[in-house]
A and B are shown apart, each in its own frame.
Chain A
């Protein structure tokens, strides 16, 4: 009888602390994952420095990322450039600064929207595809089979994809930058009444090499992160078809969030001067 209130109090305290414990577990889990992913990345990179090199697989991954993402990235870039021109025109017209449209379009595209939008598009396509492919290989023992066939799976599956992602994204972003500016130019000349030459002059007069380069650095980082999360999620997946589905989803979600978070970090670092 006398123990009851104490027991009640202790369960009550337990209940109240439940969210704290859950949060603690989540944070620990996150830290563990970050550590595991960092080790995974380090091992993959170390394989890029030691032979054998799988040039054929690199090329295949590169084409899959760069060439087959081209349509989505191109369309996204053109429409974004067009919208940017329309919106900034409306905004700047309110204080008679319509002349800044070309400038705003090119800076937004090269520094920010080109890399981020290309990154998000590729995350959806490639992050999901890599996670599904490698995850299926995991649950059907194909990754174990590689090890029994004198082939290191990290070197064979992960390293070429990471390198391809890191190199392909900047290339895609160069295309996205060009097409984004063209989209803006199209709206500027066809709808907003700018002269073609004047619009292009305004575009390039204020554009600095650093604007483009910073966007390409972001792109390389995003490409690395997308392929890393795709490969890692697939590599860790288990539990049959459902596990592969989960791996695919988590690859896309994680790389999308990381792209946006890293975009902030990189912007802060690259433009801190």
Chain B
């Protein structure tokens, strides 16, 4: 787990990124991202705000078309997939968005079972029971199902977002800053839920975070993105003591170091 280059494994990585590039206008957000994500393992991606972490996930999901580069899921180049095949790949991916992105026009139970309902895997009647079951897995009472997302606190919204991401039992799950904006205890609770869910589903997980405690709790592997490139990969447990000056500065939250904050553009 703590060997320096987990990218070199015998089997095909679940997700493989090579030379991923994306610019918005003049701004080069991704500048050649190379990353392997091992099947059945939990990868955490670290990086400062605006370093392109969310954009990376959105590229993998096909929500943002990259300018260049290769994205392989299960060894298949997603650029060569037909629309239908791409949909089938996406059907097996769950995503917890940075700010929840719950549908505020729908009650919580419909949010949770949205994918199952969309795929006609469940009737509307059965969906209520299924929602209660999944909500219980993230520590929420069944009565929460009848609330509207706007009535929930931040921590509850994250839990509902988590419930929605796992309800269809995906084999890849993305968590975009699952603990940002929560108090430390709630953050630890959410981390615990994530670890449990990922274990139970046997899924491959990719989490974005800039909380080191959280990264060590949920990660097997870790990678750090800076200025649009992956500058370090290693074991999540080694964070804070990696020998890489930039990663260590980031992990310890120090002002002085090789990473200079761009305070002005």
Chain A positions near chain B (C-beta within 8 angstroms): 52, 133, 137, 140-142, 144-145, 147-151
Contact = CB atoms under 8 A, between A and B. Distances in A.
Contact of B93 (A137, A148, A151): A148
Contacts of A133: 105
B26 interface: no
Given A140-B99, A141-B97, A144-B97, A151 B118 contact: yes
Nearest to B58: A144
B98 interface: yes
26 contacts: A52-B120, A137-B103, A140-B99, A141-B97, A141-B98, A141-B101, A142-B102, A142-B103, A142-B104, A144-B63, A144-B97, A144-B101, A145-B101, A145-B103, A147-B62, A147-B63, A148-B61, A148-B95, A149-B115, A149-B164, A150-B115, A150-B118, A150-B168, A151-B114, A151-B115, A151-B118
Nearest to B93: A148
Interface in B198-231: none
Contacts of A147: 61-63, 90
A142 B104 CA distance: 9
Interface string B148-184: 0000000000000000100010000000000000000
Contacts of A150: 87, 90-91, 115, 118-119, 168
A145 B115 contact: no
A150 B61 CA distance: 12
Contacts of B119: 150
Contacts of B98: 141
B145 interface: no
A158 to B, nearest CB: 15
A182 B37 CA distance: 71
B114 to A, nearest CB: 5
B94 interface: yes
Contacts of B90: 147-148, 150
Interface string B55-68: 00010011100000
Interface string B105-124: 10000000011001110000
Contact of B101 (A52, A140, A151): A140
Contacts of B62: 147
Given A147-B90, A150-B87, A150-B91, A141 B114 contact: no
A241 to B, nearest CB: 13
Nearest to A144: B63
Nearest to A151: B118
A92 B101 CA distance: 61
A149 B118 contact: yes
Contacts of B118: 149-151
A133 B106 CA distance: 13
Contacts of B164: 149
Contacts of B61: 144, 147-148
Contacts of A142: 101-104
A144 B118 CA distance: 15
Interface string B64-79: 0000000000000000
Contacts of B93: 148
Given A148-B94, A149-B115, A149-B118, A141 B99 contact: yes
Nearest to B119: A150
Contacts of A145: 95, 97, 101-103
Contacts of B95: 145, 148
The 3 closest A-B pairs by CB, nearest first: A141-B101, A145-B101, A149-B115
B63 A149 contact: no
Given A150-B118, A150-B119, A150-B168, 15 more contacts: A141-B99, A141-B101, A142-B103, A142-B104, A144-B101, A145-B95, A145-B102, A148-B61, A148-B90, A148-B94, A148-B95, A149-B164, A150-B87, A150-B90, A150-B115
Nearest to B161: A145
Contacts of B87: 150
A68 to B, nearest CB: 16
B170 to A, nearest CB: 9
Contacts of B104: 142
A145 B63 CA distance: 10
Contacts of A52: 120
A137 B149 CA distance: 13
A140 to B, nearest CB: 6
